[in-house]
Amino acid sequence: MKTRSLVILLCGLATAGAAVAETLVVNDQIQVRESSIERPARGSTMRAVEERFGPPVQRHPTVGDPPITRWDYNGFSVFFEHDRVIHAVATGH
């Protein structure tokens, strides 16, 4: 149950990040534009992320099973399962 809740939370965060930074309304239609913010690729290791982007602004405690960790950077957040990137979300900050 915890894993399902975490997945729902991650999906919500992904949607919220895109809504803040990249959602447009054109002719009364909602359009989502791809973010131009460089983010880590899925499958990258924590070490590779830190080497490429530097230390995160904030590291959140690991939660759940499998363990999920979030690192926040200026403009995006990275979600790891164990030590691998599963999602990187533009936050609009």
Residues 29-55 have pLDDT tens digits of 766 666 778 899 999 999 999 999 999
78 is written with which tokens? 């990275």
Bridge pairing between strands 23-26 and 58-59: unpaired
Report residue 59 CA to chain centroid gap.
13
Identify the band that residue 22 occupies on the pLDDT scale cut at 50, 70 and 90: low
Encode the chain in three state secondary structure: CHHHHHHHHHHHHHHHHHHHHHEEEECCEEEECCCCCCCCCCCCEHHHHHHHHCCCCEECCCECCCCEEEEEECCEEEEEECCEEEEEEECCC
pTM over 0.95: no
